[in-house]
């Protein structure tokens, strides 16, 4: 009886480990191969459309002044730019800081939309969208900064009539501050490669709020149901028969929490939102309506919805093996593997463990109706 139980535990641990790692390895290899291919797009480096830059704010008194100065320094024809700032019922001196910046002179046409009651980022963006004048709208969070050539690098991709939206890569300015930010930097590099590979195939829905440029004709409004105004809107653009891509040379600068607690709060909210979007993709697939290619959608659905459960099964079987037979060779193998991973691949190992635990928890929170539709600033 004891041998049978141990055999089952070993089998469960081994099979779940194979499935877990194989999913990552196969999809990573596939998108890495695709990422090396040239773009199959009509990229026009002389494309200079007028743009409306939407900046949603809530309690951004520390950042909004620097943000407006940063936008003023962007190297793009000023007569082709406008800024629409939408304040989502800030409770600090954000509005005062905006007024002070405008009195000093921003050098760009700027209008302010004030929300009397807090509705969340997507609701605020839709209010700003109604005030935007131009056919290209660009969203940028107040706590991110742009290099001066960002528009010159991003907008040529929108010259292709098939492309409805372009996003960029967030570069963490605190990479070397702590092991948390170092691990996050490794994760961001991997995620950017996956997003690029998906973009070369067709589209990625993993958009980042620091820079998202959309054609007005490609969507009706920003997604205000999933809580993910960036990725949710990207999915909507795809459903309108456009492509959504990551342009790897388009970067913006951001800061990431240096503490594990701050990191987990941000990633839990993001995981919950993305899980909701992949659930939505599954529904579209069953209805035969998903416009995102299945060779992208199916692996992503597996990574976000199935693999975390496989990971929990693997961990549970391994722990049960240790408890059931603490002196067995298999238990020794588990302990040696864990210690070896911590010594020789600590960053990758800890990131895989943390991310999949967060995804599993986010899945449970999603099933119980938890939605992150109103943004909340996370401090370091």
- Residue-by-residue pLDDT tens, the chain, 380 positions: 567 878 888 899 999 999 999 999 999 999 999 999 999 999 999 999 999 999 999 999 999 999 999 999 999 999 999 999 999 999 999 999 999 888 887 788 999 999 989 988 999 999 999 999 999 999 999 999 999 999 999 999 999 999 999 999 998 876 666 777 777 777 888 899 999 999 999 999 999 999 999 999 999 999 988 778 899 999 999 999 999 999 999 999 988 777 878 878 888 888 899 999 999 999 999 999 999 999 999 999 999 999 999 999 999 999 998 888 887 878 888 888 888 887 877 777 888 888 899 999 999 888 888 877 665 665 55
Nearest of 378, 375, 379 to residue 120 by alpha carbon:
375
Q: Does residue 120 belong to any structural domain of this protein?
A: no
Q: What pLDDT shows up at residue 24? A: 93
Q: Does residue 68 belong to any structural domain of this protein?
A: no
Q: What pLDDT shows up at residue 259? A: 81
Q: What pLDDT shows up at residue 295? A: 96
Q: Does residue 109 belong to any structural domain of this protein?
A: no
Q: Does residue 163 belong to any structural domain of this protein?
A: yes
Q: Does residue 347 belong to any structural domain of this protein?
A: yes
Domain that holds residue 308: 1-49+135-380
Per the structure, the count of domains in the chain is 1
Q: Does residue 216 belong to any structural domain of this protein?
A: yes
Q: Does residue 113 belong to any structural domain of this protein?
A: no
Q: What pLDDT shows up at residue 378? A: 54
Do residues 136 and 212 lie in contact, with contact meaning Cβ atoms separated by under 8 Å?
no
Q: Does residue 60 sit in helix, strand or coil? A: coil
- This prediction's pTM: 0.91
Q: What pLDDT shows up at residue 343? A: 84
Residue 38 DSSP symbol: P
Q: What pLDDT shows up at residue 302? A: 95
Nearest of 213, 197, 214 to residue 250 by alpha carbon:
213
Q: What pLDDT shows up at residue 354? A: 86
Nearest of 168, 364, 172 to residue 254 by alpha carbon:
172
- Token reading at 186: 């490794």
Which position has the token pair 């939309």?
Answer: 113
Q: Does residue 72 belong to any structural domain of this protein?
A: no
Q: What pLDDT shows up at residue 276? A: 92
């Amino acid at each position: 009886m004891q041998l049978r139980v141990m055999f089952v535990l070993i089998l469960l641990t081994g099979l779940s480990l194979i499935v877990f790692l194989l999913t990552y390895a196969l999809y990573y290899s596939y998108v890495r191969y695709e990422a090396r291919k040239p773009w199959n797009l009509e990229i026009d480096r002389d494309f200079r459309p007028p743009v409306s830059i939407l900046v949603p704010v809530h309690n951004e008194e520390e950042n909004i002044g620097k943000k407006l100065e940063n936008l003023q320094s962007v190297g793009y024809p000023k007569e082709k730019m406008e800024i629409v700032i939408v304040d989502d019922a800030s409770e600090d001196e954000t509005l005062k800081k905006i007024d002070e910046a405008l009195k000093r002179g921003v050098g760009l046409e700027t209008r302010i939309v004030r929300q009397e009651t807090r509705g969340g980022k997507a609701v605020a963006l839709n209010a700003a969208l109604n005030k935007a004048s131009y056919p290209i709208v660009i969203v940028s969070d107040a706590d991110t900064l742009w290099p001066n050539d960002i528009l010159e690098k991003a907008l040529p991709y929108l010259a292709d009539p098939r492309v409805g939206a372009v996003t960029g890569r967030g570069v963490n300015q605190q990479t070397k501050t702590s092991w948390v930010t170092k691990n996050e930097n490794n994760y961001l590099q991997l995620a950017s490669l996956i997003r690029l590979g998906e973009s070369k195939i067709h589209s990625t829905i993993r958009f980042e709020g620091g820079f998202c440029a959309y054609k007005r004709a490609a969507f009706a409004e920003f997604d205000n149901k999933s809580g993910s105004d960036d990725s949710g809107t990207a999915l909507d653009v795809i459903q309108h028969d456009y492509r959504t891509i990551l342009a790897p040379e388009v970067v913006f600068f951001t800061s990431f929490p240096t503490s594990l607690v701050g990191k987990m709060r941000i990633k839990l909210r993001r995981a919950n939102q993305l899980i909701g979007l992949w659930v939505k993709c599954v529904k579209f697939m069953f209805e035969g309506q998903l416009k995102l290619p299945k060779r992208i959608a199916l692996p992503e659905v597996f990574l976000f919805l199935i693999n975390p459960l496989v990971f929990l099964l693997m961990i549970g079987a391994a722990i049960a093996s240790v408890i059931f037979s603490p002196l067995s060779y298999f238990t020794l193998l588990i302990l040696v593997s864990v210690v070896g991973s911590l010594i020789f691949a600590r960053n990758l190992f800890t990131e895989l463990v943390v991310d999949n635990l967060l995804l599993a928890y986010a899945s449970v929170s999603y099933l119980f109706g938890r939605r992150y539709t109103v943004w909340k600033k996370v401090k370091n």
